[in-house]
Amino acid sequence: MLNLFSAQIESLSIHRVGNKSRNENYFVSSEPYMADDELKSLLKEYFLKPFREKEESYYQFKHEADLEFHDLYQWIREAFNNPLELHAISKEITKYLFEQSKHQHIKSGEVYVVHFENMLVDNEKVDAIGIFKSELKHDFLQFDANQNNLQPRLEQGVHLNKLDKGALIFNKEKETGYKVLSVDSNKYDTKYWLEDFLGIDYFADENFYTKKYLKFCENFAKDVVRPAEDKQQELMFMNKAVNHFASNQDFEETKFLNEVLDNPELHPEFVNYKTEKAPKFNIEDLSSFPISNTAVSTARKKMKNVINLDTNVQIKMDFVNSETAEKFIEKGWDEDRQMYYYLVYFNKEEK
């Protein structure tokens, strides 16, 4: 669980980074920026709003050899140990970002390195370091009084409603690479931000495993259950899967299959499908793990419950009372029309 409401900006450093492949340079400020309370409030919203609106998918710093060789991780650790040195460290971070800005499509922009306090992560109050980058410039008008007239003047600046790139590194799980969140509104250069600069990979916790396993189940329902049975059973399988996760604290694959997959002929299909697709979903050798209620709630909100028919008719399944979809809907085949049909039982029409 993440709560950014009480977060406070303790220090702010602002620099600029260009594109190295275009022979642009970087500019580092000599001192931290001393923002007043009004600007801090605006900047806090600008920096943190994308993280409040984004599903929590934590990352952690990773290095193929050891974290001691991960430059950004070492700077962040030093900054947490000595926040007064953050401005000097922010200069190194900016230079490092510049060194990664080699592709011609990478945009120049301002870099903000921020020290936050009073963030709540998993009900624990921690401080955090944010690294943000604004890239896109927007037109706006300024007006100058010239004798008896107002003269418009076109300028460009940063729109505070949309952050281009950002990362929040929480002072938590230090030994394994911290807990990190990232946002990137420009998907074409995600590798540059996530891999080349941040050097992060998914944080493998219960939230990660629950989300990935449910995503795997969603694909199994679409690729295997639906072709073998029908759309109704595809939706019913996913509803049972989510309900199973919601009613258990820990996941056990054998118990899951016995309770959720009604057709025993599909059990070996499930095993084969997992063997084939597991690497794609990062669930290799994953058959038991603690369940994240947050991930289950997110999956339930996204779950589809509508059968769309080619006759422009929709059937909406009620998954609050899931047994009704099984008891009162039947699928059949009409020989005369040579068409499938759904038979729906009811007592009266609701207003």
Q: What is the pLDDT of residues 46-85, one digit of tens each?
A: 999 999 877 678 999 999 899 999 999 999 999 999 999 9
pLDDT score for 301:
80
Q: What is the DSSP string of 289-333?
A: EEPPHHHHHHHHHH---EEE-TTS-EEE--STTTHHHHHSEEEEE
Cα–Cα dist 340/337, whole Å: 8
Residue 327, classified by CB atoms within 10 Å of its CB into exposed (0-12), middle (13-18) or buried (19+), is exposed
The ranges of the chain with pLDDT < 70 are: 55, 318-325
Q: Which residue has the tokens 């029409």?
A: 349
pLDDT confidence of residue 322: 57
pTM given for the model: 0.76
Q: What is the pLDDT of residue 108?
A: 93
The per-residue pLDDT for 79 is: 97
Contact 210, 245 (CB under 8 A): yes
| Distance between start and end Cα atoms, the chain | 39
Q: Where are the domains of the chain?
A: 2-203, 215-344
Can you give the pLDDT at residue 321?
A: 59
